[in-house]
Structures are given as C-alpha cells and as structure tokens.
C-alpha cells in the first residue's frame, strides 16, 4: 500500500448545495474584473449591465458565486481599489439601479453575488480623508494613520509600500506624514479608532440590505498597524511570494505594519454582521506566513468563512509546492477553510506563469481539473476557462501604476486584465464597440467564447463538464484530503468522505508521459477521464503530458 503523506481534518457529511449553513464549502467562485468583462455603452470600459448580460454564460459555466471586483465611486488611480464613496457606483460602471438589476438577475439564475470591499485604505479623494487632513483636532482627525517626522524630517519608521518606496507621504496641510501601504493616493485608515470600524460596518450593511450575498475583503490583514510605529526588522528569508524580486518590500519582515493581532476582534465583528444576513466572506491574505494567517482568520467559525493567499499565484509550479501548501494549511487549520486560486487580477495569467511562453493547450484543462480537486472552495478568474495567456502590453499602452513604476523588469498587472473575448470575428472580440481600455490580443480573440462553445474539445466545454462532474462527487465537495508519494511531476491525492468510496486522483504536471506504481489502483474503479487520458494497468498508472487519472478506491475511509 502506498504511504499516505498527510490527511486533512474532519468535515461535515455531504448535504445538498445551498441548503446547509456552510454551503459555500461546496461552491465554486468566479471572479469578474468589471472593467474588462463586457462594455455595453461603447466607452471601452466594462460595466454592470455588461455583467448582467453575461450572467447566463456564468450560470451555464456551472459556478455558484460571482465575485465582482470594485465598481464604487473612485478616481481610478488604482482602478477602483481607491474608493471615494463606499455606497455608490462609479458612473463608469453604471448606477445603483444597474446593480440592483444585476442582483435580481443573478438570484433568478441561482447565483450568489460577492462584492469587493477595500477597507484598509481609501482614496485621498474620499471626504473622510479630506476632513482628516484639515487639522489635528477635527472629528475625523484620527481616522487615518498620521505621524510626526523624525527630528531630521524623515519618515517615522522604515515601513515600505507594496508599490515601491516609503509607506509614508508628507502632507503639507497637517505637516505630518500619513501611512499608505499601497499608492500614495491610498491613505491607510486607522482601525484603532472605533468610529472607523463602525463606519465600515455601516457600509457593509448598506450592500447587504441591497441583497449581496457576501464580501471579498481586499488586503484583509492590513487593517491594523503597530501603534508605537516600531520599524520592521530585515527579513530572514526575503519574500518573493507577493511582490516582484525588483521590489524591496520583500526585504522586510512585516511584523509591525500589518497582520496585527487586533484584527481578529474586528473580523469577529464583521462575521457577526454577516451572520445576520447569512452572508459569506473571503479574505485576501498577503503575509510573510500566509498559510498561518489564513488558518487564524478562518478558525473557530467566528471570523472569515474562507481565505486565500498568493501561495499558488507564484511562478513555482511543481507537485511538491502545491502539495506543501495544502498540507501546511490542513496541519494548521482549526475548522477553517481555504479557497485555492491559481489566477486573479493581480497575477500573471496562469497559462503563461506555469506554462511558459508557448504553453501547451492541454495545460489549461489539467489546471482546472487540479484546482477543482483540491480541498477548499475553488476561485476561478475570468478567462481561465478560455485558456487565456498573459497579454504583452507595450509600455505606451500600460495603465497599471505598479507596472509603470517597475518597468521593464516588472510589467505590472495589465497583462492579466485585458478584456474578455466574446466573439472572435467582432471588433475588440465583442468586448466593446469602442476602443478598449486595454488592447485585446489577437491570440485571445482566437479563443473567444463563441469559438469554444462550438468546439466539443475546447477548454471552455471541458470547464463546463468538469464543474458539473464536481457537483456529482461529494468526495470533492466535502471530503478530507491526503497525498501519496509519487515522483515529480506527479501530484497524487485521495479525497475521502464517510459513506463513500475514496476518490483517487493523479495529475501529471509535466510535458512528458510518465508511468509510476500506485498499488491502490489495483482494485480501483476507473472513472471518466474527461479527455485527460490517464490509464491504469494493474498497479501501474500511465499519465500522458498534462494528463490526469480519476478512480474510486475499493475501500472507504
């Protein structure tokens, strides 16, 4: 018998999706970047009516939750992640009436809507910041993180911005520095101030009353800072997980500027509010030890329901790396839950990041199958179901301030944010009747939705079939996870749920056929191969390049 390397914690018995209190454990999330989804008014920028128009497509894909990135009033210096009004829609995207129509249509199709909430910072155009910077003694003077300079005029400590340079910006009105963990136009709020926490809970309630089903909390471990403003120590191991190697941010151990213990109490307040509406939350965690923070933030059923990190959003692609991330989370978690994502609006498209300059088409199917087989709630990024690659955006067309700052060593995030291709033969691939805010690559147009829906072996049709199959496999929805010894690049795992046969799965992450011995396979019932073409002969499993194998074990655990 092969040695099982690790096992996950226990889970509840399988129940029909949407009916148990923790239905989200069985769900699949689909992220929409609204600027790039569908433009209905010809201004080159996607909008809320565009999302509503394509909800049938999303429902047919087979996902359960739609996460919509920010669409709130904003000067768009960071494309909506710099909020100027938490309770209104930016005219670029439509109106509150448009949002209400989106909610109604989504719910009619059985879809849940989750919206982004950027709580750690606002835009410097927010009225709160305008009031705070006017004086040191007004009612909102302590709503943001202000600090006096050192005696030589330099910033109060060594904290760095994720987007480069010092995290402190001098303000000539208050003659103090304010903290910004991201762009200088994104001042950080002071969560040690009770009024700030109350204001954010009020804003969350505004959207819950409009019918949203949950929130994705952006940079959710950035809410609190060390009030004594101690400088961060140098990192023992320089972090390259959340930032580029050309950015000095990873040279510090971020123990004082984020991931502070006070955040746990605030997340409990958020959870109490969500419980009033049976709403769900997922937190984005970018930390020196993201897996530990994910475990802390999802433990005990009184904080976030789910969390995700950048640990599978890195260039490192190996069976060992993926296995280690899941194993370490399972070893640390206390009833919490992960959401595993291999692509989003902040990361190089997974097909290019893990597949190289000319990725094999089969890789996209393998990655979808693998992501849907891990224990946790999968989060898919728009276009991954089409096998879109990273777009090569010339400097003169760049929009992302992150990329403009670090060009050319780091080209920013525009390459993963280009518009969705809907119709191959239409202008801008059917995204807009005007000039798109980012160009649509020709290779993306050739993979448009209308082309793939007509092709039975396309990545899109595969995604639809794989998502439907996952819903029929309770082991994948609720089961524990354990990994087997297997040669690199094979990822071999088992999902077990009481009352069901164990589900055996093997993935070949490499571009060469590989054969390995797996004694459990001798008595296994091989399941449909989904076109991934893995096969077994006795105890021997053969996997073609980017192939996979699924089987039911003869025994149940």
Residues catalogued as catalytic? 218, 276
With CA atoms as reference, report the closest residue to 339 among 556, 557, 114, 552.
114
Integer Cα distance of 87 and 36 in angstroms: 22
Tell the burial category of 217 from Cβ atoms under 10 Å away from its Cβ (0-12, 13-18, 19+): buried
Rounded Cα–Cα distance for residues 196 and 443 (Å)? 46
Task: Give dist(CA 118, CA 220) in Å, integer.
Answer: 8
Query: How far are the Cα atoms of 25, 198, 276, 320, 464 from residue 63, in angstroms, in the given order?
Result: 13, 33, 25, 28, 9
What is d(CA 112, CA 24) in angstroms, rounded to the nearest whole number? 10
Place of tokens 């969350």: 204
Residues contacting residue 272 through CB under 8 Å, at least 6 positions apart: none
Q: Rounded distance, CA 51 to CA 101, Å? A: 10
* Contact criterion met (CB below 8 Å) for 304 and 295: no
Residue pair 66/101 in contact (Cβ under 8 Å)? The answer is no
**What end-to-end distance do the CA atoms of the chain give, in Å?**
14
Return the closest-CA partner of residue 93 out of 127, 135, 52: 52
Distances (CA, A) of 272 to 215, 275, 276, 281, 299: 13, 5, 7, 11, 15
Confirm if 61 and 71 have CB atoms less than 8 A apart: no
* Distance (Å, whole) CA 219 – CA 196: 16
Paired tokens of 270: 């958020």
Q: Kindly give the interhelix angle for 319-332 and 290-298, rounded to the nearest 10 degrees.
A: 40
Give the residue among 557, 556, 534, 538 at the shortest CA–CA distance from 547.
534
The strand ranges marked E within 347-400 are 379-381
Q: What is the rounded radius of gyration, in angstroms, for the C-alpha atoms of the chain?
A: 23
Which DSSP state fits 287? -
Cβ(119)–Cβ(72) below 8 Å: no
Rounded to the nearest angstrom, the gap between the alpha carbon of residue 88 and the centroid of all alpha carbons in its chain is 23
SS3 340: coil
Distance CA 447, CA 420 (A): 10
């Amino acid at each position: 018998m092969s040695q099982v390397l690790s096992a996950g914690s226990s889970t509840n018995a399988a129940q029909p999706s949407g009916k148990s209190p923790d239905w989200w454990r069985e769900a699949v999330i689909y992220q929409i970047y609204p600027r790039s989804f569908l433009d209905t008014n010809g201004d080159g920028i996607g909008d809320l009516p565009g999302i509503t128009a394509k909800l049938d497509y999303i429902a047919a894909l087979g996902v359960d939750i739609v996460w919509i990135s920010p669409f709130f009033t904003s000067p768009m210096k960071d494309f909506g992640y710099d909020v100027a009004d938490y309770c209104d829609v930016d005219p670029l995207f439509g109106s509150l009436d448009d949002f209400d129509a989106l909610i109604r249509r989504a719910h009619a199709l059985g879809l849940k809507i989750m919206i982004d909430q950027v709580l750690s910072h606002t835009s410097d155009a927010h009225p709160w910041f305008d009031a705070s910077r006017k004086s040191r003694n007004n009612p909102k003077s302590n709503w943001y993180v202000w600090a006096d300079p050192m005696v030589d005029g330099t910033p109060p400590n060594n904290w760095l911005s994720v987007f480069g340079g010092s995290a402190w910006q001098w303000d000539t009105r208050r003659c103090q520095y304010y903290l910004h963990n991201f762009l200088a136009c994104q001042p950080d709020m002071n969560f040690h101030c009770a009024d700030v926490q109350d204001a954010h809970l009020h804003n969350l309630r505004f959207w819950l009353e409009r019918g949203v089903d949950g929130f994705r909390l952006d940079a959710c471990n950035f809410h609190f800072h060390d009030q004594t403003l101690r400088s961060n120590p140098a990192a023992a191991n320089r972090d390259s997980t959340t930032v580029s190697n050309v950015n000095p941010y990873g040279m510090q151990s971020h123990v004082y500027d984020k991931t502070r213990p006070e955040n746990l109490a605030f997340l409990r307040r958020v959870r109490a509010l969500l419980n009033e509406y049976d709403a769900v939350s997922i937190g984005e965690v970018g930390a020196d030890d993201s897996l530990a923070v994910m475990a802390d933030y999802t433990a005990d059923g009184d904080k976030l329901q789910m969390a995700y990190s950048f640990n599978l959003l890195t260039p490192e692609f190996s069976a060992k790396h993926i296995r280690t991330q899941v194993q370490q989370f399972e070893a640390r978690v206390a009833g919490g839950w992960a959401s595993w994502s291999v692509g989003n609006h902040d990361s190089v498209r997974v097909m290019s990041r893990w597949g190289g300059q000319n990725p094999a088409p089969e890789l996209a199917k393998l990655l979808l199958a693998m992501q849907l087989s891990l224990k946790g709630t999968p989060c898919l990024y728009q276009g991954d179901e089409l096998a879109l690659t990273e777009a090569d955006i010339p400097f003169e067309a760049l929009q992302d301030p992150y990329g403009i700052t670090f060009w050319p060593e780091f080209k920013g995030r525009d390459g993963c944010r280009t518009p969705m291709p809907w119709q191959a033969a239409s202008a801008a691939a059917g995204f807009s009747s005007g000039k798109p805010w980012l160009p649509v690559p020709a290779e993306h147009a050739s993979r448009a939705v209308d082309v793939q829906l007509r092709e039975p072996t396309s990545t899109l049709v595969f995604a639809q079939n794989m998502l439907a199959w996952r819903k029929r496999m309770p082991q994948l929805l609720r089961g524990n996870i354990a990994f087997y010894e297997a040669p690199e690049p094979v990822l071999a795992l088992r999902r077990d749920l009481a009352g069901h046969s164990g589900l055996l799965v093997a993935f070949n992450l490499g571009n060469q056929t590989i054969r390995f011995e797996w004694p459990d396979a001798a008595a296994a019932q091989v399941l449909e191969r989904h076109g991934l073409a893995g096969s077994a002969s006795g105890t021997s499993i053969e996997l073609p390049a980017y192939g996979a194998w699924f089987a039911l074990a003869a025994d149940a655990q």
